[in-house]
Structures are given as structure tokens and as C-alpha cells.
Structure 1
Amino acid sequence: MDPGFTAEQDEIRRTLRALLHERCGPGELRAALDTPTGHDPALWAALAEQLGLPGLALPERHGGVGCPRTDLALAAEETGRVLAPTPLLATSVLAAPLILALGSDAQRARLLPPITDGTLTAALAVPAPALATALALTGPGGGDWAGGGRAGGVQARPADGGRWRLYGEAAQVLDGHSAGLLLVAAHTGGFVRSRTLLFLVAGDAPGVVRTRQTALDATRAQARVQLRHVEAELLGDDSADGGADGGADGGAGGCAVDEGAAVRRALADVGDFAAAFLACEAVGAAGRALERTVEYLGQRVQFGRTIGSFQAVQHRLADVYVRIQAARSAAYYAAWATGRRGSAPDGAMYDAPDGAMYDAPDDAPDGVARDAGGLALAQALEALRLAASEAVQLHGGIGFTWEHEAHLYFKRAAGDELLFGPVHRLRAHAAERAALFTRTEVTV
């Protein structure tokens, strides 16, 4: 692993920081949070037009920039610094890679170009609170998290004309209230052929009811999505007879494969990438929270001295700095590791730079640790929580007010842990996969 950044990565980060500094200050951030969409469409358009950020990690043949996923994860550190409320996580990190990995050629050609140019946003809809489970961050990703054939979640049934009908609801859908495309995880097959598949639904399709939810972290807009017998398209279906026939007899593209297993593998891969992305976001936010705290402590005078000159305060800041630096190293490693296991342009999983393909995370290239993303996310969330807590306390009375930024960083830490954690489950899942605590029988 080369710990240094490439010239392209440095340029992406520098340009992105300058743009966000100009377009996403504290005032602009609060104004964006009060809009119906929860983000500034003009900022999103600028990120797409000037940097190509939505398509940074998508292949050039689909209109993307063609950079490795590492570059997008590293760019997240800059968006995290300012808590930029954009559809980047929902669209480019969660939804687009699934379309790339599982979609048919026609679906990729139709959906990925508008995603890369920023004109189409997408959201991954899974039943709440199963997002971390679906992404295999806190568990193996199997089970009945999508409904299991029972009440709850989203159910799919074949319809006339080779289509599907979905009914049910999903809550805590990131940017689900404003996304033009919904990627819905739905249970199908009943009890005999039970499996979870992914379906494409237009955000404004008849029968779709979307309501923005009040979230702890206002910078991550969430929605409740209700599907009332909505017509849907199976992701990956390019059979001549349509979605229902292709979904019943084969996998993506009509191949006779275990569709449910393919979906689980794709979701696990996206979860590993999302964890690295979120870890970089968290260390960026933690670093900015520490910077703002140091600035304030260098200005506030108490007992005739600046607060930052007191040794006890310096010790607390030093502890935060060490935790952030350790989390940053872990996040950078996770970003590098997920780049080594990216998706190939044709949708094949785990494409290494040497062109080799890997069927599962366990078969990753030598030197690439498993679960690096989840462990880095756990460490980054802890660092952000510590940095934000110290920011609130060391700012004194103003740190507790709604007008101050400190509480936004604290809520980002708490909100991400609720959505993608908790921290102890992220670590426990990594320990389970590594068989650290497997009991061995000893014969005397």
C-alpha cells in the first residue's frame, strides 16, 4: 500500500474543498436543511458539472469519470468537513454501484448516464431499521430483514405483462423523499422460494407515497416510502418475456443463478464501500470539529489567559487529536482496500487492478484485510463522537445552543451510529467473520 495521495487525488480534494468552502458555509448549510429536498440542488449541480462527483467512480462507458472507488471515498472527507447535505451517499455510494453490479445492459445504459451528470438521484429503500443488516455491516446480511414473507417490509408479486407489483413500506430511506429513482429491496417467492430481490421504481410512480421524516441528523434527510401495489422493474432483468418470468426462473440477465445470493453479495460489497466512505466522512467531520474548537479556545479569555493555554484543556485536545489521526489512518486504509475490490465495468464483483475477479469478500487479494470498512467506520464514529462532545463542552454555554455548529457534528455522529451501527456490532461482526472467539474442543 502506498500511503501517499496521487496527483489526481490531491487535485480532487483541493478543488472540492474550495468549492464547498464557497458554496456550503454554515449559513448555506442551514438554509439547505430547511428546503423541501433537504439539500441545495444548485450545489449538487455544481458538484456534478465542475467535478463529476456523482460519477467519479463509475466507468467512462456509462458517462462516469472512471476513477477507482478509493478516490470517491477520499473525497468524502471533504464533504464530511462541512456536513454537506447532498444525495451523494444515497445515489453514488448505495444505489449506483448496485445498478452497475446487477443491472442489465439496457438498465445501465438508461440509468447510469443521468446519475453521473447529476440529473437523476436514486435511493436504496430497505425496511427500517435493517439498513446496516442489509449491507452486511452488523451481520451476515441473510435472514428475513426484507419481510421474510410475513407482514412488514416490502413484498413483490408477479403481475400481467411481465412486470412486478410491490406493496409495503420502508422507513429511514436516505433522500427517499426527493430521489427520482427508488431501488427497492423486496421479498418474493413466499416460503418455498423465499428470496430478496431488488426492483426499480420511479419516484413519482402511481401508488408511491413519500414523506420526509424528522431525523436526529438533519444533514442526512430521510423519508418513509409507502408502496401501494406499485408497478416495478426487476433489477437485472433483460429477458424477452419481462421481469416476472425472468425473476421466477433465472437471475440477472436471465441466467440460471441464485438471485438472492447475487443480491446479498452485491449488497455486502456496497456495504464495505459505504463503510469506507462513511469513515472518511466521519474523520473529516471530526477534524473540522477539532479545528473549530481550537480556534475558539485561542480566542476565549478566562482568568486573564486564553482557555487554550491551560494544560488540562491541552491534554483533552491532544487526546482528541490522537484519536482522529488513528481513525484517519484506518479510514484511508479502508478506502484503499475497497478500491482494490471495486466492481468491474461489466458488473462483475471484486475487480482487482490486475484484472482478477473474486466471487466473495473472503477471496480478496492478498494483503487486503476483510471488514476493513466496518472496523474503520467504528473507529471513525468513536473519534467523531469524542471530538463533537469535546467541542460542545469546551465551547461552554454557546456550544449547547441551536445556533452553534457543534451540535450538528454531535448529531452526525449519533445519527450515523443509529443508521449504520452501533459501533460494538460493527466490531462484533468483524470478529465473528474472523472467528476470533470460536470455541475449540480440547481432548485430554
Structure 2
Amino acid sequence: MDLTFSDEQEELRSVVRAFLRDVSPQEEVRRLMETPSGHDAAVWTKMGAQLGLQGLAVPEDLGGAGAGPLEVGIVAEEMGRTLFGAPFLSTCVLAVQAILAAGDPGCSRELLPGIACGVTTATVAFSEPGRPWDAPAEHTAVRRADGHWLLDGVKELVLDGAHADLVLVTARGEQGVGLYAVSGDAAGLTRTPTRTLDPTRKLARLEFSATPAHPVGRGDAGTRILARVLDHASTMLAAEAVGVAQHLLGTTVAHVKDRVQFGRPIGAFQAVQHACAHMYVEVESARAAAHHALWAAAADSPDLPLAAGLAKAYCTDAAMRVATEAVQLLGGIGVTWEHPAHLYFRRAKSSQLLFGSTDLHRDALVRRLAEPAGA
């Protein structure tokens, strides 16, 4: 496994970083987090038209770039640096991976070109009240009536669910758990924004009442599709967490160089130096874990579930530890509303919980490692 990025991938990183620096300064992050959708539609369109980021993982014959998890992970990491407000994780990771995993050529031709060009935003609704993130659908059912598929049930904690143009829903039918496509303006669909700790990441509760839907793939493939989606989502969330931690490290180091106490910069004190060194180790260790998971995803390795779970657990925990240390070293300014440290702290905490807590992922790792070889 080659653990280095190519010149083209590093160029992608540079281009994305420059783009985000222009469109996602802190004042814009704060403005957008107070809006219902959490993102600027014009910037999303520009991102698709000029950079083609929405279509990175979409096959070329369907309007995309035909790239893979490495390139998408680079973008996710850079977006974590700026807390970029856009439905990238929900649309370009969850939805794209769900459609590709379904193996339905007709649905791919229908759904993926709109995503690739930045016209369609999408998400996957799979979490149900009181059930683990990775549990198959039990309280959302699909039925056939008068030649139409209809959905009934509730999904919660749906990423960008209140405003997505397309919602892919896991639901249980006669064949088992399947994946179904629902238009964002479908009859019988009620979407309620969920207030959370992290205002830069929008979640919603979706209620379906005889809501028209269309099957995506086989009617019994939902559990397999969901497992694939969560592996990729965990990997990208890990990459994003690296970006969050890297930004906090840079901000903190700059602060301790400039902040003078007792006649000298506080960065000259050994205790502060040790704290910054620990933050650096956390960031680089998280980077290694995230990049390993990205390469596993790019190689479609059978070890992806292990790599993704490990990366998600470690990287989000590392981002939280770095965020905590950053607030401590920033001092009084670190706990003010005006300083962005609390927004990165909130993002780190929400990432720990999104798509399953770190404890859930570590428990899953233990179970997988305990399985007999070849099981």
C-alpha cells in the first residue's frame, strides 16, 4: 500500500484550500450557521461548475470525475479546516455511495448526473429513534398500493435532511430491508430541523406518511448498502476531523507565540510547549489513521470495516482532545462567543457522536477481531 499522495492529489488539495479560504471565512461560517439550510446555494453551484467536487466519486460516464475515496477524503479534510457549510458529506459521500452500492444502473443514470453537476443535493435517512446507527430499519416500512411504493415511519438525525432535494431511505418490506428514493417535496413527507450542539452541521427528523417512493436496487439489499455507506462515511468523517484538529493546532501555536505573559511569550514556558507537542502528536497520529482508512477504501480492501471504524473512533477522539487543549491554551478568549474555538470544539464533539459513538465503533472492532479467520 503506497501511503503517499500523488502530485495531482496534492494539487487538488491546494485548489480546494484556496477555494475554501475565499468562500468560507469565519464571518461567513457564522452567517450560514444561522440560516435554515446552513449553506450558500450559489457557492454550492459554483463548487460544482468550477471545481467539480460534487462529482469526484461519480463515474465519468455519469457526469463525474471517476475519482475515488482518496480525492474525496482530501476535500473532506480541507472542509474540516474551515467548517465549510455545505451538504458535501450527505450528498457526495452518503448518497453517492448508497447509489453506487445499490448496483442499479437505471437509478444511477437517473440520480447521479444531477448530483455530479451540483444541481441535486441528497442524503441518506437510516437512523431510527432509540436504535443504533447501524441497525437495520424496523420502524420504517414500505408497502405496495395501487401500483405505487409508499413509505411510513420516522427517521431521525438525518444529515441535511430538512433541505435535501433527494432522500434515500432504508425501509423494511416483504423482501427485507431495501433502499428507496424519495423526492424532497414528496407528499406525506414532514421534515423538522433538529437543534443540536453543533450549529454548523444541520440534522433533521423526517416523518413519512404514505409517502411515494421508488426502489433503488434490490428490496433486500438495504443492510448491505448501509454497511458500505457507513464505512465510507466513517472514513470521511475521520478525514474531516483531521482538518478540524489541524486548524486548531495552527491557531493555538500562533497564539502562544504572540501572547506575552510575565515578560515573554507563553510559548516559551515548558508546560505550554509540552501541551502543543501533545497536540501535534494527536494530529499526526489521527492523520495516519485517516489516510490508512482512505487507502483501504480506495483499494476496496476487505479490511475497510476495521480501518474505517478505527479511524472514526481515533480521529474524532483526537480532534476532541486537541479542541479541549486549544481552549485551555487560548485562555479567556478561547471561551468567548467571538472566537471560533468553540465552533471547532462543537464540531469535534458532534463528530464523535455522528454515525455511532466511539464506544460503538470500538466495540464493533473488538467483535470483528474476535471473529475466526474466514468467518
- Short-chain TM bin: over 0.9
How far the C-alpha of 1:132 sits from its partner, in A, is 6.1
Deviations 1:167-212 (A, max 9, x none): 12211110011100110111223xxx6x211111100011111121
After superposition, give the CA deviation of every residue in 1:388-424 in whole Å (9 maximum; x if it has no partner).
Answer: 1011111111211222111111111111122223212
Partner of 2:191: 210
Q: Tell me, yes or no, if structure 1 residue 166 matches structure 2 residue 163.
A: no
Partner of 1:256: none
* Partner of residue 357, structure 1: none
Aligned partners of 1:419, 1:29: CA distance in 2, in Å? Answer: 20
* Residue 330 (structure 2) aligns with: 395
Q: Distance in 1 between matches of 2:71 and 2:64?
A: 13
Cα distance in 2 for residues equivalent to 1:98 and 1:232 = 16
Aligned residue number for residue 352 of structure 1: none
TM-score, structure 2 length as denominator? 0.95
Residue matched to 1:180 = 165
Aligned to 1:375: 310
Return 5+ residue gaps in structure 2 as ranges: none
Of the three residues 269, 276, 299, the one matched with 1:317 is 276
| Partner in structure 2 of residue 234 of structure 1 | 215
Q: How does 1:340-355 map to 2 (within 5 A)?
A: 340-341=299-300
Secondary structure of 1:86 counterpart: coil
Supply the AA of the counterpart residue of 1:376: A
Measured against aligned partners, the alpha-carbon deviations of 1:88-141 in whole angstroms (never above 9, x if no partner) come to: 11011111121122153222111110000110011111233578632xxxxxx5
Correspondence for 1:266 among 216, 219, 225? 225
Equivalent position SS for 2:42:
helix
Is 2:98 the partner of 1:98? yes
- Name the structure 2 match of 1:32: 32
Q: Which amino acid aligns with 1:167?
A: D
Identity %: 44
Paired with 2:113 and 2:304, the residues of 1 have a C-alpha distance of 33
Q: Distance in 1 between the 2:233 and 2:215 partners?
A: 23
Work out the CA distance in 1 between the residues paired with 2:283 and 2:316: 10
> Could you tell me how far 1:338 is from its partner in structure 2?
0.3
Residues 28-81 of structure 1: per-residue CA shift (max 9 Å, x gap):
111111122111212212221222111101100110001122211122110111
Counterparts of 2:202 and 2:305, CA distance in 1: 30
Larger Rg: 1
Quick one: distance in 2 between partners of 1:154 and 1:44? 31
Cα distance in 2 for residues equivalent to 1:22 and 1:223: 29
SS at 2:142 equivalent: strand
In 2, Cα distance between equivalents of 1:229 and 1:300: 60
Q: Secondary structure at the match of 1:2?
A: coil
Aligned residue for 2:182, secondary structure, equals strand
Post-superposition Cα deviations, 1:340-384, rounded to whole Å, max 9, x if no partner, equal: 11xxxxxxxxxxxxxxxxxxx7xx3xxx56510110111111110
Amino acid at match of 1:95: A
Equivalent in the alignment of 1:303: 262
Partner of residue 331, structure 1: 290
Distance 1:434 1:129, change over 3 A: farther
Letter matched to residue 62 of structure 1? L
Query: 1:347 aligns to what?
Result: none
SS in 2 for 1:403: coil
Query: Does residue 277 in structure 1 map to residue 212 in structure 2?
Result: no
Letter of the 1:117 partner, please give it. C
Q: Secondary structure at the match of 2:58?
A: coil
Paired residues, number:
373
SS in 1 for 2:201: coil
Q: Secondary structure at the match of 2:64?
A: coil
Taking structure 1 as the reference length, the TM-score comes to 0.80
Counterpart in 2 of 1:201? 182
The structure with the largest helix share of the pair is 2
Query: Relative to 1, partners in 2 of residues 1:369 and 1:97: Cα closer, same or farther, differing over 3 Å?
Result: closer
What amino acid does structure 1 have at the position aligned with 2:165? G
| Structure 1 residue ranges without an equivalent (≥5) | 135-140, 148-152, 237-251, 253-258, 342-360, 439-444
For residue 258 of structure 2, give the secondary structure of its aligned residue in structure 1: coil
Partner Cα distance (2:318, 2:101) in 1: 33
What is the DSSP-based 3-state SS (H/G/I as helix, E as strand, rest coil) of the residue aligned with 1:204? coil
Q: 2:344 aligns with which of 409, 420, 435?
A: 409
Cα deviations by residue, 1:201-255 (Å, 9 ceiling, x for unpaired): 100011111121111111210111111211111112xxxxxxxxxxxxxxx3xxx
CA distance in 2, matches of 1:392, 1:128: 34
Is it true that 1:156 corresponds to 2:142 in the alignment?
yes
- Secondary structure (helix, strand or coil) at the match of 2:38 reads coil
- Aligned to 1:371, the other structure's residue is in SS state helix
- Aligned-residue CA RMSD (Å): 1.9
Q: 1:72 to 1:130 in 2, by over 3 A?
A: farther
